[in-house]
Structure 1
């Protein structure tokens, strides 16, 4: 289980010699655990109850599959919430599920393992970016080693609450957001001083939406189970992220390919993606459908 700030995932799988793992069931629920309280460091009552109800439901599915090994990973929202431990204790009481809250550094490590398993890392140096609701992880790496990794508390839910106050987002809000990112990501720029980046790899989340929108725009279907990786054309990615940025809520909600939980947060995710591409002068962008949960599987399966 990947218990994120926006979405709770349950992935039930078994080892597979050819394809890393065989998926038995994958459930995801837009819990929005950080809604209304992410920047205050608390889980609001409605979000708290949604999270609890979802994990009670997950436990029923786990029992149906007679799962032998369970691992539940919590990230930024539970990591930083003042009532996070209370939530963890209640989940244990009602379901028996033990939630492990991991550090941002550990989260980045799992993301690396997941992306590596997707097969999109090579000998060249790549920068992995995982845009979560509470945090964003950056990993500078190739297929053999990690040069740098760091988690920043600038996730889409935090940025949206802080900067996306009008809809569509106003130019002055975009300017403020970019200035904020300049300051917050200074440690990243320092770490990249002596490295040349060949690719920006976006792990799951918003990048899945970008890929699906592009393919739907060509009247093609896009199935994540069939596409572990996707190689963007720069002009297509910029075109579709610009459309997202300039659309209002109703327009985004009516757009096929944008799932409900991403309708609003996809705006700041688009801005963050464009910002990093421009700041680091990277035009080669790749999507990896594998991320944290697949990295956890890699550990469980000793891959």
Structure 2
């Protein structure tokens, strides 16, 4: 466990790097005297570390990951930050050569990667969401569908009631279930049945705390917002907004379209990000199941997640637990 201390009497620049299974993210901010942070730079690169499986990073993706972090390092140096914090998540945790990747990055780029476990990841995501969405005393269900894992948090404006991280990320689900395009009913039914078993503990906690609002964190949820916005004149979403309401009925319509489409048809959808077109079907099936089985009546997007949660922890001197590899 470590704690980065920030003295907010003076301005400070911090860079946070989120090394995800599907994409790498860079966030550079300036923290002012009041502890508020101001965006200087935001970058995202799709790397897909688990392209050939979650248990070992292939040489091609390994090299692509190192090269991406090298490009981030070049950008970071332009801002002369006081701290650079890099965090590895599911792909680094699960890969047998995750330690090798960390060592290679340290050797070549002099960049230390802190690998965090699923519970810590969920906590950071909650802090990020809380800084984007106006939460109330009523519990909400926060879901972050990553490439290697999915984090679930039930919380309100003041606290986390329950959280977990499950190894059912979109990259894994795609490899296990999405073998034909369009995805046939038997594959969809098998995925839904298996997900219900995997999510038994989540369902139990949802029944206990009764959240009726789903807050989806970035990733596929942001792609959903982009598609709905691009195809509906009565709904507009801008990337300048850190949070936005997502109409459940429009998501359900989009879900039908996605599950009936081929990859080429998905790529042709206005608002679709090409790098998410292969995994968005299984992500949509998971989201649809959550809405259907958990009695979700409202749905929102939070662009803030892990990175912003890390910043919140740094500013407020909250320890962040690093996982052992």
Give the TM bin, normalised by the shorter chain. Answer: over 0.9
Residue 276 (structure 1) shift? 0.5
- What residue number does 2:239 align with? 224
2:39 pairs with 1:23: yes
- What residue number does 1:271 align with? 285
Cα distance in 2 between the residues matched to 1:267 and 1:174 = 10
2:197 pairs with 1:183: yes
User: Does structure 1 conserve the Cα–Cα contact (< 8 Å) formed by 2:206 and 2:294?
Assistant: no
Which residue, 46, 49, 52 being the options, matches 1:33?
Answer: 49
**1:153-192 deviation digits (Å, cap 9, x = unpaired):** 0000000000000011111110110111111111112223
* 1:258-297 alignment, distance < 5 Å: 258-297=272-311
2:197 pairs with 1:164: no
Cα distance in 2 between the residues matched to 1:294 and 1:242 = 33
TM-score (normalised: structure 2): 0.89
2:256 pairs with 1:242: yes
- What residue number does 1:233 align with? 247
SS in 2 for 1:118: coil
Cα distance in 1 between the residues matched to 2:78 and 2:247 = 43
* 1:206-225 alignment, distance < 5 Å: 206-219=220-233, 222-225=237-240
- What residue number does 1:150 align with? 164
TM-score (normalised: structure 1): 0.95
User: Does structure 1 conserve the Cα–Cα contact (< 8 Å) formed by 2:130 and 2:157?
Assistant: yes
- What residue number does 2:21 align with? 5
SS in 2 for 1:169: coil
* 1:35-74 alignment, distance < 5 Å: 35-38=51-54, 41-74=55-88
- What residue number does 2:121 align with? 107
User: Does structure 1 conserve the Cα–Cα contact (< 8 Å) formed by 2:237 and 2:244?
Assistant: no
Which residue, 84, 87, 91 being the options, matches 2:98?
Answer: 84
Residues 1:180 and 1:17: Cα distance change in structure 2 (over 3 Å): farther
Cα distance in 2 between the residues matched to 1:268 and 1:184 = 15
Residue 242 (structure 1) shift? 1.8
How many pairs align? Answer: 300
Residue 18 (structure 1) shift? 9.0
Q: Which runs of 5 or more residues in structure 2 are unaligned? A: 1-16, 318-325
Comparing both chains, which one has the higher relative contact order based on Cα–Cα distances under 8 Å and sequence gaps of 6 or more?
Answer: 2
Which residue, 119, 132, 151 being the options, matches 1:137?
Answer: 151
Cα distance in 2 between the residues matched to 1:211 and 1:20 = 27
Cα distance in 1 between the residues matched to 2:128 and 2:33 = 16
Cα distance in 2 between the residues matched to 1:151 and 1:72 = 20
Residues 1:201 and 1:19: Cα distance change in structure 2 (over 3 Å): farther
CA RMSD of aligned residues (A): 1.6
